[in-house]
Amino acid sequence: MNIAVLCHASAGGSGVVATELGLLVAEAGHSVHFIGNAMPFRLSNHKLSDGPYFHQVGSYAYALFDQPFPELAQANVLAEVISEHGVDITHAHYAIPHATSAIHARGITGRTRVMTTLHGTDVTLVGVDRAFRHSTKYAIERSDRVTAVSHFLADQTRDLFDVDVPIDVIHNFVDTDRFTRNEDPRVRARFAHPDEAILVHVSNFRPIKRTHEVVEIFARVASEMPARLLMIGDGPERARAFELAQALGVLGRVQFLGSFPDVETVLSIADLFVLPSEKESFGLVALEAMSCEVPVVASDIGGIPEVVASGETGVLCALGDIDGMAHAALSILSDSPTYRRMAKAARQRARDHFHPSLILPRYLQAYERLLT
């Protein structure tokens, strides 16, 4: 099969999943073409000599236009790739602008089948905005096949857009060989003293991630036991989290590490992952933490319960329950038998339910059904 992949280039969950899936599909012997305005985040370290391939979408400046037209530019490049390489399927990760670009290119060429994977904010945040609502609904209904990364997201999509097209649920996956425990004390020593528990949070620091609550939870944990907090990522709420850590007197034990590609380095030596988000359609980074034998304390919202088994691989609390999350964190970290049980169960759940060998065949089958 010849497959084109449209996705965001950033380190967000949709871009990570799209890139990792494309690499797996290429390894399975298929031709894969990534198309975007920049090389996808996790494709940058991959040798492209034998595929998959990357086709860049350029920008176009003209005095008459107040702003560029990324969707049209992407559709034009995709149409060229379809015609030149005989693309059978275009897999659009995100409704706007990728699915609409794919549908536009399908109309231009009269070729390719469009499969759209919904990842979350393309539906729950961008899609419901009045500026994009009709376009998002159109993209969903005009795709040849639609998948969602969780049952929660599939149900919410049907409710928000009143669509009756089939939406297949294919969960995200994690490379359990890459995301695994690192017992080397020298790596851990880069971030904390041997007697300190390491709490980790990874996000894009948007308001819906509630990063200030991570700092509040940590401050309560740190008042009861030696601990460090590692904050990975960047975004608009970083300054607020920094100032709160300073106000609560824990800034000396909090490290803001920014964004970097090898997040597994930190997750592999962490003791607890904290995710108090108000919206998560899946929670990929929580799964990556679990694969590294890291229990998760998170909000009981969205698709997180499909990933984290509360009481087994971590604890889920009501949204905004800072006291409950701090208590859960302390209960896990201060009780060695509980910690070991949850850490082992977290890794096992990642392997048993979200291993690539389980998820890749489902996507390949979906591709094959599109061509029959």
Task: Kindly report, residue by residue over 284-335, the tens digit of the pLDDT.
Answer: 999 999 999 999 999 999 999 999 999 999 999 999 999 999 999 999 999 9
Which of 276, 191, 195 minimizes the C-alpha distance to 229?
A: 191
pLDDT class of 347 with cuts at 50, 70, 90: very high
According to the model, what pLDDT value does residue 205 have? 94
Are 197 and 168 members of one domain? no
Which of 169, 148, 119, 165 minimizes the C-alpha distance to 15?
A: 119
Instruction: Report yes or no on 179 lying in a domain.
Output: no
Q: Say if CB 233 and CB 204 are below 8 A apart.
A: yes
The larger pLDDT score, comparing residue 56 to residue 40, is at 56
Are 69 and 36 members of one domain? yes
Contacts of 231 (CB under 8 A, 6+ apart): 201, 211, 214, 238, 241, 254, 255, 256, 257
> What letter does residue 59 receive in the DSSP assignment?
P
> Given a cut of 80, is residue 43 above it in pLDDT?
no
Phi then psi dihedrals of residue 60, to 5 deg: -130, 125
According to the model, what pLDDT value does residue 211 have? 97
Are 263 and 298 members of one domain? yes
Are 156 and 256 members of one domain? no
Are 244 and 298 members of one domain? yes
Are 140 and 198 members of one domain? no
Instruction: Report yes or no on 296 lying in a domain.
Output: yes
According to the model, what pLDDT value does residue 111 have? 93
Are 365 and 286 members of one domain? no
Are 152 and 195 members of one domain? no
Are 169 and 189 members of one domain? no
Which of 369, 119, 21, 140 minimizes the C-alpha distance to 5?
A: 21
> Given a cut of 60, is residue 244 above it in pLDDT?
yes
Mean pLDDT over 38-50 rounds to 67
Are 17 and 95 members of one domain? yes
Instruction: Report yes or no on 195 lying in a domain.
Output: yes
Which of 79, 69, 73, 85 minimizes the C-alpha distance to 32?
A: 85
Instruction: Report yes or no on 310 lying in a domain.
Output: yes
Are 240 and 169 members of one domain? no
Give the range of the structural domain holding residue 136, as residue numbers without chain letter. 2-173+355-371
Q: Say if CB 118 and CB 157 are below 8 A apart.
A: yes
Mean pLDDT over 172-184 rounds to 95
Cα within 13 Å of Cα(275), Cβ side: 32
> Given a cut of 60, is residue 64 above it in pLDDT?
no
According to the model, what pLDDT value does residue 61 have? 64
Q: What is the pLDDT of residues 349-369, one digit of tens each?
A: 999 999 999 999 999 999 999
> Given a cut of 70, is residue 145 above it in pLDDT?
yes
> Given a cut of 80, is residue 45 above it in pLDDT?
no
Instruction: Report yes or no on 200 lying in a domain.
Output: yes
Instruction: Report yes or no on 203 lying in a domain.
Output: yes
Which of 211, 201, 253 minimizes the C-alpha distance to 232?
A: 201
Instruction: Report yes or no on 104 lying in a domain.
Output: yes
According to the model, what pLDDT value does residue 59 have? 72
The percent of residues in the chain predicted with pLDDT above 70, rounded, is: 92
Instruction: Report yes or no on 291 lying in a domain.
Output: yes
> Given a cut of 80, is residue 68 above it in pLDDT?
no
CATH number at residue 129: 3.40.50.2000
Are 332 and 251 members of one domain? yes
Q: Say if CB 124 and CB 252 are below 8 A apart.
A: no
- Which amino acid, one-letter code, is at 360? L
Number of domains in the chain: 2
